Amino acid sequence: MDNRIYIKVNTGITALSDVLIWCEQINQPPIPDKQVWWQCQTLLIEGFANIVEHAHKNLPPTTPVEIELLRSPEYIEIRILSQGGAFDLERQLQITDELENNERDRGRGLKIMSALADKLSYEKISSDNYCLLMRKYYSPVKE
């Protein structure tokens, strides 16, 4: 049975902490592997931060970010919907330094998401909305 939760937040100072508190409800009952849950939270943090910093950088701070979490028996899926512009995720991943070679304080978020997520995409879903999708498996897929 799937469990789905949804939130719409503005990008104010407390938004990230509000999102992290909200996301705890999808971890009930807790995922047995605590490392996987930590990775899901990291994906959410990095994805949200990237949307706010890059996709919404020229939008008013009241522009909402919509987040949907889905917990299936095999995985957790994080969908972050933005009103930002087009972005070539694959291209950006190719030109971004690898984690071990990146000594900057910033600019590692995409590589972190790519390393942690089992599926990572950024796609246009309507005329002015895009979806950052991240999926993390915590149970073997049954075929």
Question: Residues 69-88: pLDDT tens digits?
Answer: 999 999 999 999 988 777 76
C-alpha to C-alpha distance for 8 and 67, rounded to whole angstroms: 6
Higher-pLDDT residue of 139 and 54 is 54
Percent of the residues in the chain that have a pLDDT greater than 90, as a whole number: 38
Asked whether the predicted pLDDT for residue 120 surpasses 80, the reply is yes
Asked whether the predicted pLDDT for residue 102 surpasses 50, the reply is no
Radius of gyration of the chain (CA): 15
Q: How confident is the model at residue 104 (pLDDT cuts 50, 70, 90)?
A: low
Beta strands 129-137 and 119-126 are antiparallel
Note the pLDDT of residue 143.
Answer: 44
C-alpha to C-alpha distance for 11 and 27, rounded to whole angstroms: 24
Note the pLDDT of residue 38.
Answer: 94
Note the pLDDT of residue 82.
Answer: 87
Per-residue b or e along 71-80, where b marks 16 or more CB atoms closer than 10 Å to that residue's CB? beeebbbbbb
Asked whether the predicted pLDDT for residue 44 surpasses 50, the reply is yes
Domains of the chain listed by start with CATH number: 3-137 (3.30.565.10)
As a whole number, mean pLDDT of residues 43-47 equals 93
Asked whether the predicted pLDDT for residue 40 surpasses 70, the reply is yes
What is the pTM (predicted TM-score) of this model? 0.84
As a whole number, mean pLDDT of residues 43-61 equals 87
Higher-pLDDT residue of 42 and 96 is 42
